[in-house]
């Protein structure tokens, strides 16, 4: 097995552009890739541009009629069929939409293939993590669900157990839906409570169905949850489930929109806590999945101050060369930011919240604490279905 990590990148992914004023600004992808280069992180891994996902791959998750609807909207955006979630305010149609969405999906699928086949130990596609797309519709800025497609491809290759851990501020509803009845895929989503955030799903009681009962786990957190609570909640649920499930591959989604500066959500997590959870996912992959780790991006709409730094940390961790939080950001990158956005760039790779301290769940819980109530609700709903004590 190659110990070298892969970074999936093709400049053409920046064509995933819903237009001026849309929160999903592709400048976040450009700036992330340039920060990875400015800090020399890309010298520690292999950069790979994979082919777009073909129709047969897209059909692993998406319906034929939906793929055809995306192609039609891609060729003539004005004719987009809103019954498929296309041409809406969240998912405006644009020329070339099918091609670039398939390209992003292709990067995640190729990342999964490389990791499973031993061509890379870890692979990162920060342009992916488009976890809201459903089998038959676009949703929440997501056209094709690259995360679900990567997992479906792993199953096609014969993998028997895949764990998907989603720490985006929004519920990973599309991935959960794709594997709702499949016991081979354990989906765990840690997100802001559906009472206060799109897509209004991801309640603790959503645990899968049929043979997949107990294979979906949802941990909704109160709005305003900060570093200590967020990291505590993650560690109160995720490691124990992975220890029980023993995945052969870990796929994780690292939306940066849990951050306190994100304009679309209401958690209060710092870059430093995001880095703690990225490190934890890396460690869990080694502890329970023989190191096989596919890491994806996701949401994140503070496109200058947060997303590039968060995902550069992710890439560096996957490369085996974590960037120290106190690292000074190169002036050349900061000038690039100003030239592209007329915004002042951050100066260091930290929010100044390092080190992050949190109280382990094993030390006891407070039944009157809202965060602990959320963790308890999740453990009580999901854990007994897996034969674990709540």
Residues labelled as active-site residues: 132
- Alpha-helical (H) ranges within 11-145 are 27-38, 55-58, 64-75, 97-116
Report which secondary-structure segment, H or E, holds 373: helix 370-382
**Helix or strand or coil: residue 45?**
strand
Would you tell me how many other CB atoms lie within 10 Å of the CB of residue 160?
11
Residue 261: C-alpha distances to residues 264, 282, 315, 328, 356 (Å): 9, 25, 21, 20, 18
**Helix or strand or coil: residue 257?**
coil
Q: Report the distance separating Cα 175 and Cα 179, nearest Å.
A: 7
Residue 329: C-alpha distances to residues 80, 278, 345 (Å): 42, 20, 9
- At a CB cut-off of 8 Å and minimum separation 6, what does 37 contact? none
Per-residue tokens: 210: 């049929």
Kindly list the strands in the beta sheet with 162-166, ordered across the sheet, starting from the edge strand earlier in the chain. 45-48, 5-8, 122-125, 293-296, 249-253, 162-166, 185-192, 216-221
């Amino acid at each position: 097995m190659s110990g070298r990590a892969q970074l999936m990148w093709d400049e053409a992914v920046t064509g995933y552009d819903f237009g001026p004023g849309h929160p999903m600004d592709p400048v976040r992808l450009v700036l992330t890739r340039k920060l990875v280069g400015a800090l020399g992180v890309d010298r520690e891994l292999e950069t790979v541009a994979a082919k777009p996902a073909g129709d047969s791959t897209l059909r692993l998750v998406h319906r034929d009629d939906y793929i055809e609807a995306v192609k039609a909207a891609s060729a003539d955006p004005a004719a987009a069929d809103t019954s498929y979630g296309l041409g809406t305010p969240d998912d405006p149609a644009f020329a070339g939409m099918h091609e670039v969405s398939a390209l992003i999906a292709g990067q995640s699928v190729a990342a999964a293939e490389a990791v499973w086949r031993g061509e890379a130990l870890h692979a990162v596609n920060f342009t992916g993590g488009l976890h809201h797309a459903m089998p038959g519709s676009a949703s929440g800025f997501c056209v094709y669900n690259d995360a679900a497609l990567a997992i479906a491809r792993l199953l096609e290759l014969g993998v028997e157990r895949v764990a998907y851990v989603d720490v985006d501020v929004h519920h990973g509803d599309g991935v959960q839906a794709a594997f709702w009845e499949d016991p081979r895929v354990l989906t765990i989503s840690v997100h802001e409570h559906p009472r206060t955030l799109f897509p209004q799903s991801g309640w603790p009681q959503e645990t899968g169905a049929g043979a997949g009962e107990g294979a979906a786990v949802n941990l909704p957190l109160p709005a305003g949850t900060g570093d200590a609570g967020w990291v505590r909640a993650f560690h109160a649920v995720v490691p124990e489930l992975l220890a029980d499930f023993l995945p052969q591959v870990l796929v994780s989604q690292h939306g940066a929109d849990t951050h306190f500066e994100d304009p679309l959500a209401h958690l209060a997590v710092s870059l430093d806590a995001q880095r703690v959870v990225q490190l934890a996912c890396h460690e869990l992959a080694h502890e329970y999945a023989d190191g096989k780790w596919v890491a994806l991006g996701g949401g994140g709409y503070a496109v200058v101050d947060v997303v590039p730094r968060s995902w550069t940390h992710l890439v560096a961790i996957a490369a085996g060369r974590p960037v120290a939080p106190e690292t000074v950001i190169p002036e050349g990158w900061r000038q690039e930011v100003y030239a592209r956005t007329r915004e002042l760039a951050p100066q260091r790779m930290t929010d100044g919240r390092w080190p992050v301290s949190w109280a382990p769940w094993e030390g006891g819980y407070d039944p009157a604490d809202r965060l602990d109530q959320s963790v308890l609700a999740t453990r009580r709903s999901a854990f007994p279905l897996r034969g674990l004590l709540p």
